[in-house]
């Protein structure tokens, strides 16, 4: 069981302006927690000048108190039991960087019930339970801030909710998982297969011991759901977000895509179409000339297309202790400017949790991936039959799939291996699947070896 080592009263600190310092309780003193402590200490005076009051870490909860003491310093009270922290009357804001969903959700809801603001970097928590958490925060007049949950060094949540607030946002498309992007960069530039690129990412610290959330697209899907929520003022049910990872990607397809003028990226896509939204993550062909195709290594890049500002591009580091801490502390500074929890006057002026006031949040229908229309990349295994090669594009067109570009591409490392690759016109996924099934049945081939969507971004 956790044990409490908390003093009954925490020290009050006042800055020169006479305003009370914002008193912070930190749950989690690992990579992000330690970075947050370092930034708060190193830039304390600058932070106070910009926030209008001091921000003081007064308590931290951690399993290993000895290690935590080395992170937070001697003036911070330490507890093993995080419930003591979230219920302590002398804490104004709780920073949750412990990760996970179950316990984190319970602690965040309790902090809100206790009238405390919350800052979190937990994208899984908010993507899966954000509607409940934001409703609780609105009812209690407190803030849940989460800039660090998406593309940490890029202030994209602030950009969507504030900088672009006057705009109708049409789409948000981005490379939002640094681990997968590092792997794809190595596969593209060095010809590594997935296993070798993942091994390198692990050795360099870009991939976790269990990388499944990153390489299966789940992490990117969490972030894309939050981007969609803010872009469209929406409640996005996470279970309806399509997530496809990169584990099955063949480097040969990266060679073929390059021959067609594209690069393959794991993309998070949030787009408004008629009275629905698309929220999806999958490997995607992007034109080599587009900014997103230039996002290399563990970096992140996000493309936002709007009606008034037009397209904007946001680029920065997607992971790291200090980079994540930068976003956490920026959220703390916003909270410091908000005034007391429950202050009705200030609460009315606070930035909404999902870009629009709670009463205006909509539950847009999320289009099933099979109903989403886009251009597609197809790779067919080589069939040495000129008549069949001439026939299959006409067969596809007869079934509603127009082949717009077609190319024979030899394999770089295996000269005897070659394939036909094609780009289609825009077609719904379900319609393409039916047409390809009919092609196989009607002609006896060729077999489709790979299918990926194409995004020709303006």
Q: Which residues are CB-neighbours of 215 under 8 A, at least 6 positions away?
A: 179, 180, 183, 198, 207, 245, 246, 247
Under CATH, to which class is 371-454 assigned?
A: alpha beta
Q: Can you give the pLDDT at residue 18?
A: 47
Is domain 22-152+322-360 classified as CATH 3.40.50.720?
Answer: yes
pLDDT of 35 strictly over 90:
yes
Whether the CB-CB separation of 132 and 106 falls below 8 Å is answered with no
- Confidence band of 455 (pLDDT split at 50, 70, 90): very high
Q: Can you give the pLDDT at residue 3?
A: 40
- Identical fold for domains 22-152+322-360 and 163-317, yes or no, is no
DSSP assignments along 140-153, one per residue = HT--EE-GGGSSTT
Per the residue annotation, which of 116, 158, 223, 265 is the catalytic one? 223
| Comparison of pLDDT for 393 and 202, the residue scoring more | 202
H/E stretch holding 161 reads none
pLDDT of 9 strictly over 90:
no
| Comparison of pLDDT for 396 and 61, the residue scoring more | 61
Q: What is the mean pLDDT of residues 108-131?
A: 97
Q: What is the pLDDT of residues 82-107, one digit of tens each?
A: 999 999 999 999 999 999 999 999 99
| Comparison of pLDDT for 62 and 386, the residue scoring more | 62
Q: Which residues are CB-neighbours of 161 under 8 A, at least 6 positions away?
A: 230, 351, 352, 355
pLDDT of 25 strictly over 70:
yes
Q: Give CA separation, 274 vs 218, 237, 239, in Å.
A: 26, 19, 21
Q: What is the mean pLDDT of residues 368-385?
A: 89
145-169 core/surface letters (b: 16 or more CB in 10 A; e: else): bbbbbbbbbbbbbbbbbeebeebeb
Q: Can you give the pLDDT at residue 208?
A: 86
Residue % of the chain over a pLDDT of 90:
76
Domain map of the chain by residue range?
A: 22-152+322-360, 163-317, 371-454
Whether the CB-CB separation of 126 and 226 falls below 8 Å is answered with yes
Q: Is 223 a catalytic site residue?
A: yes
Q: Does 446 sit behind a cis peptide bond, omega within 30 degrees of 0 on the bond before it?
A: yes
Q: Can you give the pLDDT at residue 417?
A: 67
Residue 358's nearest CA partner among 132, 164, 170 is 132
**Dihedral angle, C-alpha 206, 212, 213, 216, nearest 10 °:** 110
Q: Can you give the pLDDT at residue 11?
A: 46
Phi and psi torsions of 434, nearest 5°: -65, -40
Q: What is the pLDDT of residues 277-301, one digit of tens each?
A: 999 999 999 999 999 999 999 999 9
Is domain 163-317 classified as CATH 3.30.360.10?
Answer: yes
pLDDT of 14 strictly over 90:
no
Q: What is the pLDDT of residues 123-180, one digit of tens each?
A: 999 999 999 999 999 999 999 999 999 998 999 999 999 999 999 999 999 999 999 9
| Cα distance between residue 247 and residue 410, in whole Å | 23
pLDDT of 262 strictly over 60:
yes
Task: Name the DSSP class of 12.
Answer: P
- Confidence band of 339 (pLDDT split at 50, 70, 90): low
- Confidence band of 4 (pLDDT split at 50, 70, 90): very low
Q: What is the 3-state secondary structure (H, E, C) of 205-259?
A: CCCCCCCHHHHCCHHHHHHHHHHHHHHHCECCCHHHCEECCCCCCCHHHHHHHHH
Q: Can you give the pLDDT at residue 442?
A: 61
pLDDT of 2 strictly over 60:
no
Phi and psi torsions of 56, nearest 5°: -120, 130
| Cα distance between residue 201 and residue 178, in whole Å | 10
Q: What is the pLDDT of residues 329-338, one digit of tens each?
A: 999 999 998 8
Mean pLDDT of the chain: 90
pLDDT of 8 strictly over 70:
no
Q: Can you give the pLDDT at residue 350?
A: 78
| Cα distance between residue 108 and residue 82, in whole Å | 10
pLDDT of 445 strictly over 90:
no
Query: Which pairing describes strands 299-306 and 169-175: parallel, antiparallel, or unpaired?
Result: antiparallel
| Comparison of pLDDT for 405 and 37, the residue scoring more | 37
């Amino acid at each position: 069981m956790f044990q409490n080592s908390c003093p009954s009263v925490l020290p009050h600190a006042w800055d020169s302006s006479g305003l009370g310092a914002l008193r912070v309780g930190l749950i989690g003193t690992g990579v992000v927690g330690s970075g947050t402590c370092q930034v708060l200490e190193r830039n304390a005076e600058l932070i106070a000048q910009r926030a209008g009051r001091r921000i003081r870490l007064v308590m931290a909860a951690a399993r290993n108190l000895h290690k935590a003491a080395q992170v937070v310093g001697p003036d911070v009270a330490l507890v093993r039991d995080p419930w003591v922290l979230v219920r302590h009357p002398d804490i104004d804001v709780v920073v949750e960087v412990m990760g996970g969903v179950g316990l984190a959700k319970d602690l965040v809801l309790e902090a809100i019930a206790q009238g405390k603001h919350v800052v979190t970097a937990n994208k899984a928590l908010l993507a899966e339970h954000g509607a409940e958490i934001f409703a609780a925060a609105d009812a209690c007049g407190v803030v849940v801030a989460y800039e660090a949950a998406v593309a940490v060094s890029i202030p994209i949540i602030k950009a969507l909710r504030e900088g672009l607030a006057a705009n109708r946002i049409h789409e948000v498309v981005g490379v939002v998982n640094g681990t997968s992007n590092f792997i794809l960069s190595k596969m593209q530039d060095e010809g590594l297969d997935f296993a070798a690129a993942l091994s390198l990412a692990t050795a360099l610290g870009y991939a976790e011991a269990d990388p499944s959330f990153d390489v299966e697209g789940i992490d990117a899907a969490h972030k894309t759901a939050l981007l969609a929520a803010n872009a469209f003022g929406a409640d996005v049910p996470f279970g309806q977000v399509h997530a496809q990872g990169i584990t099955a990607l063949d480097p040969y397809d990266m060679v073929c895509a390059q021959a067609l003028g594209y690069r393959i990226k794991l993309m998070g896509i949030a787009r408004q179409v008629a009275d629905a939204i698309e929220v999806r993550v999958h490997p995607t062909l992007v034109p080599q000339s587009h900014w997103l195709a230039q996002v290399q290594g563990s970096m992140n890049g996000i493309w936002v297309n709007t009606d008034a500002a037009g397209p904007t591009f946001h680029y920065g580091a997607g992971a790291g202790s200090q980079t994540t801490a930068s976003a956490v502390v920026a959220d703390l500074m916003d909270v410091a400017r908000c005034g007391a929890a429950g202050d009705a006057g200030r609460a009315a002026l606070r930035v909404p949790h999902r870009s629009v006031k709670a009463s205006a949040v909509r539950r847009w229908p999320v289009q099933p991936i099979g109903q989403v229309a886009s251009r597609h990349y197809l790779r067919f295994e080589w069939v040495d039959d000129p008549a069949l090669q001439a026939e299959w594009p006409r067969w596809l067109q007869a079934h509603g799939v127009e082949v717009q570009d077609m190319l024979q591409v030899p394999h770089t490392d295996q000269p005897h291996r070659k394939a036909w690759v094609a780009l289609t016109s825009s077609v719904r996924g379900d319609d393409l699947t039916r047409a390809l099934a009919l092609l196989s049945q009607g002609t006896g081939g060729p077999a489709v070896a790979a299918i990926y969507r194409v995004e020709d971004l303006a």
